[in-house]
Structure 1
Amino acid sequence: MEVGFIGLGAMGSAMASNLLRAGHAVRGWNRSGSAGIDGILMVPDPADAFQAEVVFTMLSDDAAVREVLIEPGVLAKARPNAVHVVTATISVELVRELIAAHEEAKLGYVSAPVLGRPDAAASAQLNILTGGKAPAVEKARPLLEVLGRKLWHMGDDPVQANAAKIAVNMMITMAIEAMAEAVVLTESTGLDRGTFFDLILNTLFGSRSYESYSAHIAAGEYEPGFKARLGLKDLRLAAALAGETDRSLPMLDAVRARMAETVDAGMGESDWSAMADFTINRSEKPS
């Protein structure tokens, strides 16, 4: 199949490479103007990528989507009946705008945010949340199955997939903060954090998020897999979604404030689990 791929950062390049290895013809475009990937045809304009049958975008945030796709009017130049698959975590507000824009341009639209870090993308072990009308989802399905271990269909409304992804990322930050606060308590008695994590992982908290991020916290190493500044962006998306229904989410408010403190402390380019470092080593009780 002819595939376009816009956004060839750590995640996008791994995903595009897997599509290429699966035998698909991939044309790519990247904002950085990087040299690209062997075997991928790099095109000079995003509209050129939209001449493919199915186009993936992995852009970092709402602003990037607007800059690359909406403001230049790329959708109006797209191949007729192409399907656009948006794999990044963006706001529900923007998703609704994109749905309307794709309907006007007579293009298919699929929300397909992914669960997984660049290593999972490289090994095609992503979990992919899909939302969209059946014809568009089914056209993209063979490609999505190349990229992930499992597809999780959230509903016919693309917004539902984005809401699920935002909620998952919110819950991951809550898990990171929960482990950090537990370390503050247990280390106050001299208990080694590795011993404590061994306990929780093998009893009540043996989930993937706890396993992955406890390793970062135990080692005190926060090399970026998913950067803290992007984690803060996703928590802002969660707060905005909660605000639509005027609901109070106190845990969300707490982790959003703590992630903001982490970024403000100069750790925005570190892994988002660096929030634990801020809680354990840098925060002080208000006087």
Structure 2
Amino acid sequence: MDVGLIGLGHMGAGMATNILEAGHGLTVYNRTRGKAESLVNKGARSAANFSDACRGEAVITMLADDHAVESVVYGDGGLLSSLRKGATHISCSTISVALSERLAADHAAVGQRFVAAPVFGRPDAAAAGKLFVVAAGAPDAMAAVQPILDAVGQKTVVVSKTPKAANLVKLSGNFLIASVIESLGEAIALVSKGGVDKQLYLEILTSTLFSAPVYKTYGALIANGNFEPAGFAAPLGQKDIRLTLAAAEELRVPLPLASLLRDRFLTLLATGGEKLDWSAIGQLAARDAGADAP
């Protein structure tokens, strides 16, 4: 396929490399042009603007938030005005349910297709082509873009014909990850202040009760205090919890833990955590307890 990709951050760059290695034609765009150089050396074309990235069968957006996606879709030369009829916008960004619903309607109104395909996985998984893709869209659109999703992920799960459902699943997943981070941080603070070695405690947890990768990955980050460089920055974590709460309010579903997590992220950001990984909320319990940092 001939596709475009807009957004070459930690996740987008790895996805782009795997799309090229799968043999697809690729045009890339990023506000910081220098981020495209290594991909151009691998065979990608560099787009001078949004519209240049929209000349193929599909375009992927992997951007930070609703505002960034809106600027690419609705701005001058954006996707709505540049994609040809029948082409597909694949949104891999973690965005609000409301924006996903709006994008689906607006693309359909001009004869374009829209697939929501947010992903689970950190930058190392993106680089290795091992992301898990949660996708939703019309069956014909899904069939058309499946080769691209296969290139970036190890598994794609189609959850609905309605794109916004994929975004709801993604937000709920990030809420659960943040809940694990908070609970790990509290538990590690407790046993550490009681004199138990953090590394030994983590080994006990992950070899018995909690062997899932999320506990191993984030437990190690918390125990080691390894929050820089950020694989997923704290402001993005705060954004995802805010969007989860917005979706919950719309559906009238109380999420008491999400409200707690919102405040934990605000505390982290208010105390200088802007550049830290979102797992840094896991150090707040130790700070509250007056314990030494990891």
- What is the TM-score with the length of structure 1 in the denominator? 0.95
The whole-number CA distance in structure 2 between the counterparts of 1:146 and 1:74 is: 22
Counterpart of 2:45 in structure 1 is 41
2:83 maps to 1:78: yes
Counterpart of 2:224 in structure 1 is 219
Aligned pairs for 1:17-166 within 5 A: 17-36=17-36, 37=39, 38=41, 39-72=43-76, 73-166=78-171
Task: Give the aligned residue type for 1:259.
Answer: F
Match of 1:260 among 258, 266, 274: 266
Task: Give the aligned residue type for 2:83.
Answer: A
Counterpart of 1:4 in structure 2 is 4
- The 3-state SS of whatever aligns with 2:275 is coil
Alpha-carbon shift at residue 283 of structure 1 (Å): 6.8
Gaps of 5+ in 1: none
Q: Deviations over 1:120-172 (max 9, x none)?
A: 01110000000001000110001110111100111111111100000000000
Alpha-carbon shift at residue 35 of structure 1 (Å): 5.0
Q: Tell which deviates more after alignment, 93-102 or 201-210.
A: 201-210
CA contact (8 A) 1:54 1:85 kept: yes
Gaps of 5+ in 2: none
The whole-number CA distance in structure 2 between the counterparts of 1:206 and 1:15 is: 27
Alpha-carbon shift at residue 188 of structure 1 (Å): 2.5
2:261 maps to 1:251: no
For the structure 1 residues 106 and 216, does the alpha-carbon distance in structure 2 shift closer, same or farther, using more than 3 Å as the test? same
Task: Give the aligned residue type for 2:122.
Answer: R
Alpha-carbon shift at residue 28 of structure 1 (Å): 1.1
Counterpart of 1:196 in structure 2 is 201
Counterpart of 1:240 in structure 2 is 246
What RMSD in Å do the two structures reach over aligned CA positions? 1.3
The whole-number CA distance in structure 2 between the counterparts of 1:71 and 1:177 is: 38
2:187 maps to 1:182: yes
CA contact (8 A) 2:133 2:156 kept: yes
Alpha-carbon shift at residue 217 of structure 1 (Å): 1.1
Alpha-carbon shift at residue 245 of structure 1 (Å): 2.2
Alpha-carbon shift at residue 247 of structure 1 (Å): 2.5
Counterpart of 2:237 in structure 1 is 231
Q: Deviations over 1:195-230 (max 9, x none)?
A: 211111122111111110011111111121111110
Q: Tell which deviates more after alignment, 116-125 or 70-79.
A: 70-79
Task: Give the aligned residue type for 1:161.
Answer: A
The whole-number CA distance in structure 1 between the counterparts of 2:289 and 2:32 is: 36
Task: Give the aligned residue type for 1:263.
Answer: L
CA contact (8 A) 2:4 2:56 kept: yes
CA contact (8 A) 2:116 2:137 kept: yes
Alpha-carbon shift at residue 282 of structure 1 (Å): 5.0
Q: Tell which deviates more after alignment, 85-94 or 218-227.
A: 218-227
The whole-number CA distance in structure 2 between the counterparts of 1:248 and 1:9 is: 33
CA contact (8 A) 2:27 2:53 kept: yes
The whole-number CA distance in structure 1 between the counterparts of 2:33 and 2:269 is: 27
CA contact (8 A) 1:47 1:75 kept: no
* Count of aligned residue pairs for this structure pair: 284
